[in-house]
Structure 1
Amino acid sequence: MSRVTVEAAFGYSPIATDIVWTDITRYVTLSDSKGISITRGAADELSDTQTGTLSVDLDNSDGRFTPGNASSPYSPNVRRNTPVRVLVTTLTGKNWLAGGSSFESDSHGWVPTPGDAPQAYGRDATHHLAGSFGMKVTWTGVNTGGGLQSTVYGLKIGTQYTASAYVYVAAGSPAVVIKCGGATSAASTVTDAFERLSVTWTTTSAVATLQLTSASSPPAAGTMVWMDQAQVEESATVTSWSSSIARYHTRFFGMVTSWPMGWEGLASEAQLVASDMLKWTSRRPALGPMVVEEVQGDGAQLYYPLSEPEGSMSGGDQSGYSRPSMTIRQSGTGGALTFGIGTGAPSDGLPAPLFEPASTSDGKSLQCTVSPRLTSGGAEGEVIPGDQVYEAWFNTGTSGRVFMKWARGSAPAFDNGIYFQLESGTGKLQVVEYSTFGSTTLTAATPNLANSQPHHFVWDEESGDVWVDGVQYAIGTGVHTDMLLLTVGSTAGSPFFSDPGSQHWVGTVSHVAAYVRNGADGPGPSIADIVDHYQAGLDGHEGETADARMTRLASYVRIPGVTASGTFSTVASQGQLGSSPLSHIRDVERTEGGRLFADRASANLVFQARTVRYNPTPAVSLVYADLETPGVEFSDDDQKLINLITASRPGGATQRIQDAESISLYGVYEQQLDVLKTTDESVTDAATWAIIRYADPQPEMRQLPVEASTLGTTTYRALLDADISSVITVTTLPSQAMAATVTSTVEGYVERILQGRHFLDFHTSRSDTDSVWVLDDTTYSVLGTTTRLAY
């Protein structure tokens, strides 16, 4: 038995961490011709995976799915980007609760009730009905004491269900109840022994939540209960517990791209059209350099890259907080400050302003009023909590000069603030804190930084420490709130008080940024994340593994995570970026030779290394006669033939790899391979691996259609679990086939869920294309056939 559930999260973003789902299953139209359509993956292994799509036919007779309809119960949130997901529930017995087993291996999906968590919960061996474990819950002393819950999917609307659970209430602990479908059981009456609680209701939704909570509000903190053998069954009365539990298979997670609606006569219909999270990566036309993306992504509340072109007279804020521009401030006479001709962080490819003063007291600096203030202690009015972090890149060959200053901007006799300079003679970093009571100079034990090389600087108000080029120096600075004036390149104070300053900087300063953090675990970026900008600006994270790079690029477009599998190789720098996020992500995917696609169950991406496909084990075996569909397709053509590759990498050699025998038989089938490998040898390996596999591609099954709903539950579940890179074996093929048994790798599929039918049409490729040599293995060490070395 299987049932489908469709949910939408009206009013939420697909990357939100607190999504609350609304069941819309009852409005889904399922018939012989209408229902749910899903596409996923690629046509073959040499094509890019495409954005997955979902189409759902909906009954819109009450206008609830009409965008802009104020009478919709979902108004005003029937809109683009609404998260949507589709699940299929499979059942072998009668227990619809996937979290209904006896807690022998894990917690089976039981989680704290949102906003009402118990003091503690977890598997425990003290009290249990079967096996060795039950679920122990310890109550808090507020509200209900907390709750523990598990969600059940695939219920039949309008049908009676009964939920039950065995509970063991310790003597002195409060009675407990279970709740499901809006109904509540009678309170427990037994202590120091297991008692079964149950509740029956008629469901109006395909989704229900079974909850365990106390019957008193609030219970005494530290009191407890044990639970075992929970169940939700399609019955008007409670029956024996079944260990044959349901399984939930998420078929799609994504976001609505449109809500087209129309009429058949007077009957209104809507169609939910959605895309998976791969679409999210293609929305920005171009990324900035890595260092820019990371500063902005970590929430800088003030950010001046200072990368304006030559001829500019000011530098703009790119934090998104609309800070005033930095303008040129003249001190004394002479000197120059020219945008666009200096060099900033090594990997960003951006220019920086060049400071060329006439003397230490005659020159030009950059200055702006920081409005509104980043933090405030209340002396200037409103209290604005938080600790500041300052960041900048600089390059100079002259010591004894100031590269950045933060001040209140008062008259010189009453001003206070902090500025950062290089010690005269030694070039060590110095921090000067000053006020009306005097000044303190703190010197960090850095090497000589006035060495005409770029350096990265971070100051953390909370710890009082500084970081230079990723190295921490403890110097013990104090607290600096109500900083109103930012000066880059001198000690100049407010122009309103004729404070021209001195110690004019010689060289460049760029990527000036400021952050606000509220405690180590509070809002704001971690210090480690900010310090990590050094690597982004230095070499664009040259040499990090492909999965780490993929996670980094995904974070630039706010994808919450990347689920990686396999063993990954390293990739070269992408410091300058400059193209669309998806373009750069594809570069990493191609370099790794892996597979990237959207997760079916979350907003994450999935990234598989090429090693995932080496010598795969089939996930499911099908008998040809059980497919119950026409359309199985075998092909033997030159679609994938490659026998000559010209390969290159950034800063490396251009190399040519060929298979002379294939060229003599078929002619030249050439391909250009540009990858972000870190050595010429790895480029050769990548090109050679492609030539080995495709110089003479063999016949293969490319389409595998399956009427999945006609198969047994075990096979059906295996097909639902199959995804991109899963392997399927088909046996007992007709005599005309190239072999009686073939094993194919899933590259993608088209899926149709109709009334009583579930059709899967897999795009497949030969699995043995990815077979590699294994020493003394009877299958993968056959001389001349499977003795292929992979990289």
Structure 2
Amino acid sequence: MTTRLDYLRLEAAWGVDSGHGVAGWTDITEWWCMDAQTSISRGAQGEQQACQPGLLSLQALNDAGEYLPDNAGSPWHPHVRTDVPIRITYRDPALPGTLVSAETASLEGGTTGGWLTSYLGASAPVTLASSTAQAWDGARSLLITWPTSGGSVGAVASAQTVIRRAYRATVRVWIPAGSPAVRFGDAFGQTPIATSTLTGAWETLTVSWTATDGRVYLAVKPSGASSAGQSVYVDGLQVDEAAAVATWSTAAAPVRSRFTGYVQSWPAIWSASSLSGRVLVTAADRLKRLGASAALRSLVEEEILYDSPSAYWPLGEGDGASSAGNISGSATVRRLSQVQYGTGGAVTFGSGTGPGADGLSAPILAPVDASNGKTLRSISSAPLNAIDLGGSILTYSVTVAAFVATTTASRTVLRVSAPLNITLDVTLDGTGKPSVVIASPLEGLTLSAASTVSISDGATHLVAVSWDHATLTVRLIIDGVQKASVSLSGTGLDSPVAPPWDTVEVGRDGALYAGTVAHVAVWPSALTAARLAELYTAGMTGCSGESSDTRIARYARLAGVDPSQVSLDVGASTSIAHIDSTGMAPLALMQRVADTEGGPLLVDRDGMLVLHSRTRRYAAPVDAALPLEYCTPPDAGWSLEHDDSGQVNYASSTASGSPAVRVIDQASIDEHGIYRRDLDLVTTDPDEALAAAQWLVSRHAEPQTRPVGLLIDLLTISDDLIEAALALDVSSRWQVIDLPPQVAADPFDLFVEGYTETISGTGWTLVPATTPADGGTVWTLDDDALSVLDGTTTLAY
């Protein structure tokens, strides 16, 4: 007898990192041991707790050693290793759907959807257009007009598939009389080919196959030679699993992820009485990776490193240092060392400060005069602007930048040099106004452009020169704002390759720099003014004042999470303070921001990093209302508990740079005693800190009643409720209805904080961790029911 357990699937991504959006899943369900318990845990145990990494444990058959890392005979060798992406999905085949977008399937939006033209070896492409002349469903179809060709052109739509799973693709075609028949199938031979036989009528073409790749490219192309102007109308594309019902639908195929993460271990195990082998698979979601990631440097250092500099000297060495280390990772770049010109002068490490938000000291260069003193210089054994283009090493664009502070004019701040004495300087004139100066003695060439604003004011500035060889433009950018530019067109420096810059120097002979310098960096690319403005802000303020979602997205990006794998609510906290990230793991930084936002930070079942804004729960709609009969264990009872779990009647809250504020509920304290919680919020807004404390005490001053021991039976719950039950997740609002007559409040109104999911050969259950949702009804302006204070509504923040 088929049950819902038969619709669960186990998948792994061998040899690819599907956590970065790469499609490469393989169905390994046949090795999943359903007779052993599979356990999934996600979220938190309570509203005032942080979400923990999602965890998965299960057993898989290993009779042939498929999951032994050193077994060269494994079909997955050599990819059986830790950190393999793994997931569990569920698909009810009775629910129709498609693996392409609704617009690609039906074209009703008036576009060509996800259909693309493909040359497929031909000399001319097809033309795609939305058409109302013919339609199989609705009012529109895709009109494909052929060029003159030998049949190699086509229109292609793609869909993500799971390797080793069976699929079916159907398309409807209408061919005008005189136009060639068409073929339908994968452009690269993964599927069979279906060929049309009719003209002047709609015809259905279907192909079925077992996926051997993570994506299928379904092409409609002429079966033979075509002439310009011949055409075909296409409509009703549907791609779905072969086991699913073939009913036409433009709805997304209802594939429900239950867990997505990375294998932590899979030790091989054997029972004492059998030689049949198994592996015990344990996995964790991305949250564990973010918590175990290497500690970060200061925000400005991380932002500079994010753009892959070819050389980077933070210059944060302490007192007594004589040179600065390069942290770019390049083995060809030497330390930034002192060079003496004339006599006297000093470079004193640890005596100054850089941009201020980096927590580092900085050296001060103090020459005797313009000709007597010291510079800091590094010579690389390879060009700093070298890039690899298909195996060819070329010298191209470059950006050099540094944070500086000086009161001395008529000096050179930075010099970058190349062989043949080609130099690129940032100099200060007699009033401290910076200029970019390019000199090529062999060409007899000197180019320059000047800013109109002085920087010899003692303040810290980010000075940068961006040489964009694609546009042959050199830009002087101060504090993230372009101040001047030089064109290289028509000069001897406009050749296909740029000078091979190999030397960086702070100051130069005859114009020795005097002042503080920090974070000298070189990139083999042309950074934009906008990007340099971000670096300036990171150094000067640590990006203080940005919203919670923006800050978490920043930390995620710096931790290597692809932006496509991040989905964040717009944060209600809009004044996040600078946090010194030095020595902290990315997850710890993100959690501090999430705590300030007042919403959970977690990885969802699809592997996406998500943040829920605190406003998500304000007057939230009910996601599922389930009768009690489906929410209690068959062989155990459940209880109503009224205790001090989560009680808070004394809150102390601190904003960044502000004294602590205190909010208490004296009546609750008098009756129950003090239940204290301290909030250390990374906001620059003291009003937000006060509001957070007020919100906490207003909702939790009194003990709350909550059900304990509820369990949702996903195997036996009715068909009309299963989709709602499967959708329950962290922050879902869940109501339990049809309660016993002794219970005064019907329904139980709950928020899901986390859950444990258990799968076995005979059962499938979900045990949610919940908190009461009644405090989520907030005051709303001009709402007849929700704008009444001192009732059932609460002032939110």
**TM-score, scaled to structure 1:** 0.88
1:168 equivalent in alignment to 2:174 = yes
Residue 654 and residue 377 in structure 1: after superposition, are their counterparts in 2 closer, same or farther (change >3 A)? Answer: closer
What amino acid sits opposite 1:131 in the alignment? G
Name the CA distance, whole Å, in 1 between partners of 2:502 and 2:217.
55
C-alpha contact 1:403 1:509 (8 A) present in aligned 2: no
Aligned to 1:10: 14
Instruction: Report if aligned partners of 1:616, 1:767 keep a CA contact under 8 Å in 2.
Output: no
What per-residue deviation string (whole Å, max 9, x for no partner) do you get for residues 299-355 of structure 1? 112111111111111111111122211111111110000111111112111111110
Q: CA deviation at 1:16?
A: 3.3
List aligned pairs for 1:219-618, cutoff 5 A.
225-228=233-236, 230=238, 241=248, 246-264=253-271, 265-322=274-331, 323-375=333-385, 383-409=393-419, 414-424=420-430, 426-436=431-441, 437-438=443-444, 440=446, 442-462=448-468, 463-476=473-486, 478=488, 479=493, 480-488=498-506, 490-491=507-508, 501-517=509-525, 528-561=530-563, 562-574=566-578, 576-578=580-582, 579-602=584-607, 604-618=608-622
Separation in 1, partners of 2:82, 2:241: 37
Hey, what does 1:497 align to over in structure 2? none
- 2:119–2:154 Cα contact (<8 Å) kept: no
Distance 1:631 1:133 in 2: 57
Look up the SS of the partner of 1:475 in the other structure. Answer: strand
Give the corresponding residue for 1:494.
none
Residue 642 of structure 1 aligns with which residue?
648
Asked if 2 retains the 8 angstrom alpha-carbon contact of 1:255 and 1:275, the reply is yes
Please, which moves more after superposition, 465-474 or 343-352? 465-474
Give me the whole-angstrom Cα distance separating, in 1, the residues matched to 2:763 and 2:141. 38
Partner SS for 2:482: strand
The answer to whether the Cα contact below 8 Å between 1:129 and 1:228 also exists between their aligned partners in 2 is: yes
For structure 2, the residue ranges without an aligned partner over 5 or more in a row are none
768-777 vs 140-149, which moves further = 140-149
- What is the Cα deviation at residue 738 of structure 1? 4.4
> CA offsets, 1:61-120, max 9 Å, x none?
121111121111211111111112221112435668686874557999967799989978
How far apart are 1:573 and its partner, in Å?
A: 3.0
Following the alignment from structure 2 to structure 1, what is the Cα–Cα distance between the partners of residues 15 and 751? 38
Counterpart CA distance in 1 for 2:261 and 2:142 is: 33
**Which of residues 742, 747, 750 is equivalent to 1:741?**
747
Q: Is the 8 A contact 2:377 2:505 kept in 1?
A: yes
In the alignment, residue 541 of structure 1 is paired with which amino acid?
A: C
User: What's the CA shift for 1:443?
Assistant: 3.8
CA distance in 2 between counterparts of 1:377 and 1:694 reads: 59
Distance of 1:433 and 1:208 partners within structure 2: 50
**Structure 1 position 685 matched with structure 2 position 703:** no
Contact 1:345 1:454 in 2 (8 A): yes
Paired with 2:118 and 2:262, the residues of 1 have a C-alpha distance of 23
1:567–1:162: structure 2 CA closer, same or farther, 3 Å change rule? closer
Q: 1:394 to 1:775 in 2, by over 3 A?
A: closer
* Separation in 2, partners of 1:599, 1:235: 27
- Distance in 1 of aligned mates of 2:378 and 2:214: 56
Matched AA of 1:416: I
1:789/1:575 Cα in 2 relative to 1: closer, same or farther (>3 Å)?
closer
Cα displacement (A) at 1:47: 0.6
Q: Deviations over 1:724-768 (max 9, x none)?
A: 111111111123334221111111111123346432111111111
Question: Distance between the aligned counterparts of 2:107 and 2:228, measured in 1?
Answer: 24
Q: For residues 422-479 of structure 1, what are the alpha-carbon distances to aligned partners after superposition, in whole Å with 9 as ceiling and x for unaligned? A: 112x211111211214453624334210000000122211132121112112321545
Aligned length: 760
Cα offset, 1:172, TM superposition:
3.6
Question: Among 735, 741, 755, which residue is 1:729 paired with?
Answer: 735
**Which residue of structure 1 lines up, in the alignment, with residue 79 of structure 2?**
77
Q: Write the distance in 2 (CA, Å) between the matches of 1:713 and 1:674.
A: 46
Change in CA separation of 1:758 and 1:129 when aligned onto 2, cut-off 3 Å: farther
Partner deviation per Cα, 1:705-729 (whole Å, 9 max, x = no partner): 1012323334211222222111111
* Residue aligned with 1:274, SS: strand
8 Å contact from structure 1 (residues 620, 718) kept in 2: yes
Q: Any idea what the Cα deviations from partners look like across 1:481-517, whole Å, max 9, x if unmatched?
A: 21121111x22xxxxxxxxx22111111111111123
SS in 2 for 1:709: coil
Question: 1:402–1:503: 8 Å Cα contact kept in structure 2?
Answer: yes
Instruction: Give SS of 2:20's match.
Output: coil
Distance 1:221 1:418 in 2: 56
Give SS of 1:393's match: strand
- The letter of the residue matching 1:600 is R
1:386/1:676 CA distance change after superposition, 3 Å: same
Q: Structure 1: how far apart are the matches of 2:11 and 2:228?
A: 36
Instruction: Kindly indicate whether the alpha-carbon contact (under 8 Å) linking 2:107 and 2:113 is maintained by their aligned counterparts in 1.
Output: no
Q: Hey, what's the Cα distance between the residues in 1 that align with 2:57 and 2:280?
A: 7
- Evaluate the alpha carbon distance shift between residue 346 and residue 87 of structure 1 in structure 2; reply closer, same or farther with a 3 A threshold: same
Partner SS, residue 184 of structure 1: coil
Letter in 2 for 1:721: A
Kept in 2, the 8 Å contact 1:704–1:762? The answer is yes
Indicate the residue corresponding to 1:42 in structure 2: 44
Aligned position for 1:521: none
* Cα RMSD for the two superposed structures: 3.5
Cα 1:58–1:662 shift into 2, 3 Å: same
Alignment equivalent of 1:19, drawn from 4, 19, 23: 23
Amino acid at match of 1:670: R
> Matches of 1:601 and 1:91 in 2, distance apart?
20
| Contact 2:547/2:571, CA 8 A, preserved across alignment | no
Pair 1:7–1:377, CA change in 2 (3 A): closer
Indicate conservation of the 8 Å contact 1:539/1:575, yes or no.
no
Cα deviation, residue 657, structure 1? 1.6
CA distance in 2, matches of 1:218, 1:396: 73
Contact conserved, 2:182 with 2:221, CA < 8 A, in 1?
yes
Structure 1 SS opposite 2:739: coil
Partner of 1:211: 218
Kept in 2, the 8 Å contact 1:431–1:443? The answer is yes
SS of the counterpart of 1:406? strand
2:676 matched to which residue of 1? 670
Residue in 1 aligned with 2:756? 750
Q: What is the rounded CA distance, in whole Å, between the counterparts of 2:259 and 2:111 in structure 1?
A: 24
Residue 532 of structure 1 aligns to a residue in which SS? Answer: helix
Greater Cα shift, 46-55 or 89-98:
89-98
Distance 2:222 2:277 in 1: 46
- Show structure 1 runs of 5+ residues with no match: 492-500, 519-524
Q: 1:87 is matched by which residue type in structure 2?
A: T
What does residue 28 of structure 1 align with?
A: 32
Relative to 1, partners in 2 of residues 1:628 and 1:370: Cα closer, same or farther, differing over 3 Å? Answer: same
Over 3 Å counting, the alpha-carbon distance change for 1:484 and 1:234 in structure 2 is closer
State the distance in 1 between where 2:782 and 2:186 align: 58
Distance in 2 separating the partners of 1:233 and 1:470: 52
